[in-house]
């Protein structure tokens, strides 16, 4: 799947044709959840693997597109992971994590860390991993990695929202394009510029 970067340019006035009038309308929570899933699938996101390691040498990780920069000064990231995932259960204890940005060539890494029933140790057989300076696993051949200390953890019903101060940054010298996810599929960004 290709994402046309020119289509991401600012648009004109907001079109409202085809949207339902939501004033004074409420719908059952289940219907809202279904419609939310249908709508949010169109939001493209960069694919990352969020990792953490404990003092006993155990590593944890999960694929997510729910990562964003909170601040440049000081450098701070927000990441969201499933509460029931091993990393979601361990972040409060490890107090550190690493956001690893995947290239379009690392689809197998994304798939390995997306499997819910896979053992964490097996996931790290995909890609070139090393222990970072903070103790979290770093994908050495990824586009970039951001090692963070946990500043704040906010528990939500299905997810854990973690805010981290960036302590170490690593990036590829000759990066490939990013791996993206949209509509439940992995793809890549393709430039349409000459």
The string of pLDDT tens digits covering residues 159-184 is 999 999 999 999 988 778 899 887 77
Question: Shortest CA distance to 86 belongs to which of 76, 78, 77, 97?
Answer: 97
The pLDDT tens digits of the residues spanning 68-110 come to 999 999 999 999 999 999 999 999 999 999 999 999 999 999 9
- What pLDDT does 19 receive? 44
Residue 24: the pLDDT is 46
Cα–Cα dist 93/90, whole Å = 5
Is the pLDDT at 128 greater than 80? The verdict is yes
DSSP E strands in 156-184: the ranges are 159-171, 179-182
Structure-block tokens of residue 123: 């996931």
Percent of the chain with pLDDT over 70: 81
Give 175's DSSP letter.
-
Which region among 8-12, 53-57, 117-121, 167-171 has the lowest average model confidence (pLDDT)? 8-12
pTM above 0.85, yes or no: no
Please give the pLDDT value at position 103.
94
Rounded-to-integer distance, Cα 191 and Cα 2, Å? 9
Residues in the chain: 194
- The Cα–Cα gap between 37 and 30 comes to 11
Predicted confidence at residue 25, as pLDDT, reads: 58
Mean pLDDT (whole number) for 21-28? 56
Give 3-state DSSP helix, strand, coil % of the chain, rounded to 5: 20, 40, 40
């Amino acid at each position: 799947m290709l994402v046309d970067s020119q289509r991401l340019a600012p648009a004109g006035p907001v079109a409202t044709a085809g949207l339902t009038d939501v004033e004074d309308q409420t719908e059952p929570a289940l219907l809202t959840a279904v419609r939310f899933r249908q709508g949010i699938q169109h939001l493209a996101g960069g694919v990352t693997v969020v990792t953490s390691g404990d003092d006993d040498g155990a590593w944890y990780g999960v694929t997510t597109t729910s990562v964003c920069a909170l601040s440049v000064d000081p450098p701070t990231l927000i990441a969201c992971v499933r509460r029931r995932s091993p990393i979601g259960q361990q972040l409060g204890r490890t107090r550190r994590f690493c956001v690893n940005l995947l290239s379009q060539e690392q689809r197998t890494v994304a798939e390995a860390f997306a499997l819910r029933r896979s053992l964490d140790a097996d996931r790290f057989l995909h890609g070139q991993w090393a222990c970072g300076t903070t103790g979290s696993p770093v994908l050495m051949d990824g586009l970039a990695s951001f090692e963070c200390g946990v500043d704040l953890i906010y528990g939500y019903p299905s997810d854990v929202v973690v805010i981290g101060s960036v302590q170490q940054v690593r990036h590829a010298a000759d990066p490939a394009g990013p791996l993206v996810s949209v509509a439940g599929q992995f793809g890549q960004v393709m430039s349409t510029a000459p």
